[in-house]
Amino acid sequence: MSKDVKNVPALRFKGYSDAWEKRKLGETNSYFTDGNYGESYPKESELSDKENGVPFLRGSNLRNGELIEDNANYITKEKHAELTSGHLVEDDIVLAVRGSLGALGYVKEENIDWNINSQLAVIRTDKSELSGKFLAQFLLSWRGQKELLSRNTGTALKQLPIKQLKDVPVPIVNLDEQKEISALFTSIDNLIAATQDKIDALEQAKRALLQRLFDQSWRFKGYSDPWEKRKLGETNSYFTDGNYGESYPKESELSDKENGVPFLRGSNLRNGELIEDNANYITKEKHAELTSGHLVEDDIVLAVRGSLGALGYVKEENIDWNINSQLAVIRTDKSELSGKFLAQFLLSWRGQKELLSRNTGTALKQLPIKQLKDVPVPIVNLDEQKEISALFTSIDNLIAATQSRLSSLELLKKALLQDLFI
């Protein structure tokens, strides 16, 4: 059995100073299996629903070291009983060995006896030498991911055969130190999960408020007049889109973040916000030419091709960004309709229904400005608009602050993974 001594990590718990041993996974007493069940692989008739079946996991069910049941497939209990090699046990590691390589999930009590499809493999460690939780955290670290991904095979379809997986070097560490490290990451993971739950609860509360306030079943005290309904095209709003004709940016007129101007597309609209992540950029000279797409505070940016219904509200930090051909801008007349108020209406169940019911096209759904102008919107006392907008601004700020905390926790975990597994 080959052994290789590893340098001491940059960060250690007090009381531990011995250098870590490095050993190939295949040289440990771990058990390996995958979801290639041969002729026994589930047929369509052996699939089931959530209520009557057993989760049959695929790569998309592995996220940030967790097993996520959302959008899982299910197999019948009879088929699950037949495929015994894929039954999950607490402290197992489920790893994507086809498709989304590097993704993995740690098996907790609530995941026991789920099953895996052909994209996945299971590592079950010998607890007398290596904790599954500790190994999972190592494989999530920068070093662990590098070791996994460097061993993939194939060209069009990347794979990580068990033979290659067994060749991955892993740290073999004093069991007490493994427990301390695992406990630390369990605490951080619990904080991350609780923070995500808070975000989900806030977003659910916002959806409920949007429905109640825009069907007028709830009103702020002091307001009782019925709301007027008017088509968007009958308001004094301004409309434009990113179809710039022959002036549309060529590849040579694209830029980078440091030197360019954000050139937004549908994927940059998320939950009513403009998100710069993965934005394209155009040169400042091209931006100066495409004046109709310059964003102004309180504008609404709306997807009119592709991801219909998505929209973003323009805040101070988004001023003077630009839009591509998937998007359109609505700029309201503030003496009758606040952009913030209109954005919240369009995010509500009723607003989304009005938008999506007016799409045209078959293969590529579109919402031409002509149809957009036909959407009925509430025209409300300006003071009531302000009250409603202020409420949602408070909720949005709380969601953003919680999102920021979540990002900080994830960065902390990433930094700790790097320092503990250097």
Domain annotation covers residue 255: yes
Residue 384 and residue 318 in one domain: no
What is the per-residue pLDDT for 349? 93
Instruction: Name the 3-class secondary structure at 378.
Output: strand
What is the per-residue pLDDT for 7? 57
Residue with tokens 């009925």: 376
State how beta strands 115-116 and 53-57 pair.
parallel
List of the chain residues with pLDDT < 70: 1-8, 10
Domain annotation covers residue 2: no
Q: What total number of domains does the chain contain? A: 3
The predicted model scores a pTM of 0.79
Domain that holds residue 282: 229-379
What is the per-residue pLDDT for 3? 47
What is the per-residue pLDDT for 8? 61
Question: Final residue of a domain: which of 143, 172, 201?
Answer: 172
Q: What is the CATH number of the domain that holds 92?
A: 3.90.220.20
Instruction: Please tell me the distance from the alpha carbon of residue 349 to that of residue 6, in angstroms, as a whole number.
Output: 57
Nearest to 395 by CA among 359, 344, 319, 320: 344
pLDDT tens by residue, 42-68: 999 999 999 999 999 999 999 989 999
Query: Per the structure block, which two tokens stand in for 28?
Result: 């440990």
Length of the chain: 422
Residue 101 and residue 36 in one domain: yes
DSSP state of 285: H
What is the per-residue pLDDT for 152? 87
Instruction: Please tell me the distance from the alpha carbon of residue 366 to that of residue 298, in angstroms, as a whole number.
Output: 24
Residue 269 and residue 325 in one domain: yes
Q: Are 104 and 139 in contact (CB under 8 A)?
A: yes
